[in-house]
Structure 1
């Protein structure tokens, strides 16, 4: 299968990030919460990029809408996770100023 013509030249060189090992069920401290937010954002970006690539190389019209919807959802997920991290940083800096 020669998909070289369908794939854009600016592909990421690093392998996608997927956290395959679950360490804890509950978030036990702020550091762990921040780490989980960062990992969730990386995973959302990786799956968004993957399904974006799938959408770009798709040749089946029946798959266009589900793939498009999934890419849209993952893009929104990335936005929400970035917003959560920004709020976390703002809250942390306000706590540090109050001390």
Structure 2
């Protein structure tokens, strides 16, 4: 569909991936959601298709969410990014703001 938005979701917890995917797909909006368990896999997918939004966990195995966003910004400086975490901190909020994260 022409109005369909493509969202990339990155989280190493399968249950969270499925929850986010389900919530987005059932929201009543036209979303196609690709859910992947690592930043490395997300980096592989980013050049392969167009995404309108990236939602990523902060704590990921391997490359963490902040390093992932830094790499995204080099390739796609204007794509909106939402970072999610169960371990919020002022330092994390500041770093997310410096990276131009839409929501943290």
TM-score w.r.t. the length of structure 2 is 0.24
Q: Which has the higher contact order (CA 8 A, sep 6+)?
A: 1
More strand by share: 2
More helix by share: 1
Q: Which one has the largest radius of gyration? A: 1
TM-score w.r.t. the length of structure 1 is 0.25
